[in-house]
Amino acid sequence: MRVINSILVVDDEPEFLKNIGMTLELADYHVLIANNGLEALALLRKQPVDLILSDIGMPNMNGYQLLERVRENRLWAAIPFIFLTARKMDSDVRYGKSLGVDDYLTKPTSTIDLLAVVAGKLRRATYLQPAMRSSDLSAGEDKIIAIGALRINPGRFQVFLNGDEIKLSIREFALLETFARNPNDVLSSRDLIGLTQNRAEPGLTTEVAVRSMIHSLRRKMGDCILNVRGQGYRLVLPGN
């Protein structure tokens, strides 16, 4: 029996919600709608969704804030999240990606491009489900990665530094976990991008994507990642 995926569309423009909802329903998706981030969170608490498609500029809770709340929640962290917005500036795109958004589309976008991105993200999420279930099973075993003052619980997607919990996006978590499992190695951008990006993004080079995520980690954790000129990056922590 074919599974019908549920997509949560978040936007404060009623006409856009109507049009995008019809487009997705004609493609055989089940569509849920919310007018802002707060409404989206309320829906997420009531029923599971397979993908979130969100605007950025909205009242009460904007798209950036919604993305951060989704990525902080272990139950929602793996849901594919796509921005569909009129914001086209490079700085907006970079900021969204630094928060862990899976893709960034600008309005107006063609139906073909939208459906292709949605289908691709859902397909990748399906591939990752067995690995996610394995992580959930190991959560009870509390297999902690400990390096100096850093503690990582992969099963629970938790990070503690000096006893304080650090909230990371799922991509940032994957990046930090990779460094932690290879504490003495210098990892290149090409090594790292395969863990956090499923494909090359238009206008976003591998090096830029990695730099953006490392900058975000440093902002949250201090100078924990050392840039090794011409080679890549290495984890550096007190006591490491």
What's the angle, vertex CA 65, arms to CA 124 and CA 93, rounded to 5? 60
Quote the distance between the C-alpha of residue 56 and its chain's center.
15
Phi, psi values for residue 143, rounded to 5°: -80, 90
162, two tokens: 């000096």
**DSSP letter for each residue of 162-180:** TTEE----HHHHHHHHHHH
**DSSP letter for each residue of 82-149:** EEEES---HHHHHHHHHTT-SEEEESS--HHHHHHHHHHHHHHHHHHHHHHHHHHHHHTTT--EEETT
Closest CA to 87 of 72, 97, 75, 78: 97
* Alpha carbon distances (Å) from 213 to 43, 95, 140, 166: 29, 10, 29, 15
124, two tokens: 């990748």
Give yes or no for residue 57 having a pLDDT over 50: yes
CB proximity list for 233: less than 8 A, separation 6 or greater: 179, 186, 187, 189, 192, 210, 214, 225, 226, 227
How many H helices and E strands in the chain?
A: 8, 11
More confident residue, 131 or 40: 40
Phi, psi values for residue 153, rounded to 5°: -110, 100
pLDDT tens sequence across 68-107 = 888 888 778 888 999 998 887 877 788 877 777 888 898 8
Provide the pLDDT for residue 134: 43
pLDDT tens sequence across 6-39 = 999 999 999 999 999 999 999 999 999 999 999 9
Cα separation, 38 vs 34, whole angstroms = 8
pTM: 0.57
Provide the pLDDT for residue 3: 58
If you average pLDDT over each of 36-50, 96-110, 160-174, 211-225, which comes out highest?
Answer: 36-50
Domains and CATH numbers, the chain: 6-133 (3.40.50.2300), 140-235 (1.10.10.10)
**Number of C-beta neighbours around residue 163 at 10 A:** 7
Closest CA to 17 of 102, 87, 84: 84
More confident residue, 172 or 204: 172
pLDDT tens sequence across 186-213 = 888 777 765 555 433 433 455 677 788 8
Provide the pLDDT for residue 133: 44
More confident residue, 212 or 131: 212
